Structure 1
Amino acid sequence: MAPGTVLVTSGTGKTGHRVCERLVARGVRVRSGSRSGGALFDWADATTWGPALHGVDAAYVAYYPDLAAPGSQDAMRLFGRIAAASGVHRIVLLSGRGEPEAARAESALRESCPDLTVVRAAFFAQNFSEGAMVEGVLAGTVAFPGGEIAEPWLDVDDLADIVLHALTEDGHAAQTYELTGPRLLTFAEVTAELSRATGREIRYVPVSGAQYAEMLTQYGMAAPEAEWLAGLFTTLLDGHNASTTDGVKQVLGREPRDFAEFARDAAAAGDWHV
């Protein structure tokens, strides 16, 4: 049975705005939570959570800055208690694939929400068109601590389709879905796909975690946050996630979108227009 009202936390984010669009198209009432505009919701201010959850039947939870970040377990435990007290009966949580700290945060939320649906995602293909690596693509050089490790890049539109199903259809309670794209690509192979799609040479430059953290601080990120983020990336790209799953097909009944298809569409849409 479709929910009456759905709260989408981080409703203006990479995944959140896509989920909002799909829910609206399905005719579901949506409460888009953000720090500015829509319904006030701020992960750094727990006093905003209760009002945002009031009268809500279901919620899509995308924790900022990341479910593996320090403090996420306490935040999920408190959010779960508030959601349960508010009568929220269905929650879909965005998590990271192969992140032990994120798995512990999942468990903290599940304490109050035993029917929690978890979607554990691989790295997003859209990181190259909407995320931190856009500037590198535009400049023709993508620097990242990925080495020669392959990653099964996931299209965010596939993720949003799955979240829509989990929020509006039965059969997904207490399920955990591991979501990947259809094939493994190294960063060098990714930039080769981007080069073909854009008609420009884009190359990959491997850097160490420490070098990447230094780059982030040069862009204005605080040193502790930069070091944590670089450490997370190097941990995730140590090879333990270098495999694909059938999670997308399990839910949607079709194969996931390939990175090459994403790159062609993004280029055609002008995402990398110089």
Structure 2
Amino acid sequence: MLLITGPSGNVGHELVEMLRTQLPPETWRIAGRHPELLRQRVGEGAQVCRFDFYDSSTWIEALRDVEALFLLFPLPSNRGAREAVNPFVRAAEAAGCRHVVYVSVFGADRAQFIPHYKVEAVLQASSMSWTLLRCGFFMQNLHRSISTHGIDIVERGELFIPAGRGRTSFLDARDAAEVASLALTDPVSHRNTVHHLTGQAALTMDEVAAALTAALGFQVTYTHPGLMRFAARLHGRGVGWDTIGFMAAVYTLTRLGRNQPITDEVRRLLGRSPRTLEQFLRDSAWRWKQRAWT
């Protein structure tokens, strides 16, 4: 049995859509906080269960007969790693899980202040095999409800990200989901392996704003906000401090030039080039126009 956590996250959402056409429903299970919404999305044939990282009473059914686990952080925070995700990893090991595919970030092996460092450490110390997908900045973050970037783009014509003039290796979550599918269905070939996944180019936020302008048909400007102004705006919208702190850490790494490496791993693993930002925007422009945040 294969268990998918984080089915509404960037990679989790795309992975669920992919596995629906690849695997028989009796071989995999989708776990989330809102099973009724998942059921509406995937249909009656799929296995769906209620699951909450912060409610250990939901773990038993989710982990029943599970041999492979797709692990996606719900809302990245150090508290979440300490109190929820790492205890769940240990519970999965005790329940008999043998392989974990974990979506991480660049620098998680060195930046001890980000929560993914702690989760990677627990996985590597376990008896389970693992595949770490250290991913570049997801293009989908530009319209995720958790980031609220889409609101700034549509309502203010602003790309409001405190990344300075740093470059970011943007990655389409669909490409990461394809790699995750490979690692879940053929764990032997990806055993105890780190994959660094990026798009084709490292882009400045000014370049991203220009691409948004071309795709959406209205002016989008990168406003170079500072961390304090960024944090204040997001907190005013109800975004939690843990989430703001994680986002600020990622954007600070970008500002410092730590999120710009380009790898050829997507091409090597999938046999094709990664999707470009322009391809992503052609496919997703409707989300900003319809305010269809994910």
1: distance between equivalents of 2:80 and 2:216?
A: 40
2: distance between equivalents of 1:84 and 1:227?
A: 31
Residues 1:156 and 2:170 are matched in the alignment: no
For the 8 Å contact 1:10–1:63, the answer to whether it is kept is yes
Aligned with 2:135 (options 121, 138, 154): 121
The alignment yields a C-alpha RMSD, in angstroms, of: 1.9
Kindly report which structure 2 residues correspond to 1:97-176, keeping only aligned pairs within 5 A, or say none: 97-99=106-108, 100=111, 101=114, 102-131=116-145, 132=147, 133-139=149-155, 140-169=157-186, 170-176=188-194
Report Cα offsets for 1:90-120 as digits up to 9, x if no partner: 2100111123232332011222244111101
Residues 1:20 and 2:16 are matched in the alignment: yes
Change (3 A) 1:103 1:246: farther
Match of 1:216? Answer: 234
Match of 1:59? Answer: 69
Which amino acid is the alignment partner of residue 134 of structure 2?
R
Change (3 A) 1:70 1:236: farther
1: distance between equivalents of 2:20 and 2:34?
A: 20
Residues 1:251 and 2:269 are matched in the alignment: yes
Deviation at 1:218, TM superposition (A): 1.0
SS in 2 for 1:70: helix
Match of 2:44? Answer: none
Kindly report which structure 2 residues correspond to 1:216-235, keeping only aligned pairs within 5 A, or say none: 216-222=234-240, 224-225=241-242, 228-235=245-252
SS in 1 for 2:10: coil
1: distance between equivalents of 2:160 and 2:225?
A: 6
2: distance between equivalents of 1:71 and 1:15?
A: 19
Deviation at 1:71, TM superposition (A): 4.3
> Normalising to structure 2: TM-score of the pair?
0.84
2: distance between equivalents of 1:220 and 1:77?
A: 26
For the 8 Å contact 1:216–1:226, the answer to whether it is kept is no
1: distance between equivalents of 2:214 and 2:226?
A: 27
2: distance between equivalents of 1:227 and 1:136?
A: 16
Kindly report which structure 2 residues correspond to 1:6-45, keeping only aligned pairs within 5 A, or say none: 6-28=2-24, 29-37=27-35, 38-45=48-55
Which amino acid is the alignment partner of residue 273 of structure 2?
E
Gapped runs of 5+ residues in structure 2? 36-47
Which amino acid is the alignment partner of residue 141 of structure 1?
E
1: distance between equivalents of 2:223 and 2:127?
A: 43
Which amino acid is the alignment partner of residue 89 of structure 2?
G
Greater shift, 229-238 or 22-31, is seen at 229-238
Which amino acid is the alignment partner of residue 150 of structure 2?
V
2: distance between equivalents of 1:244 and 1:126?
A: 18
2: distance between equivalents of 1:141 and 1:71?
A: 30
More helix by share: 2
For the 8 Å contact 2:53–2:85, the answer to whether it is kept is no
2: distance between equivalents of 1:226 and 1:182?
A: 27
Change (3 A) 1:124 1:173: same
Change (3 A) 1:13 1:76: closer
For the 8 Å contact 1:43–1:63, the answer to whether it is kept is no
Greater shift, 91-100 or 230-239, is seen at 230-239
Gapped runs of 5+ residues in structure 1? none
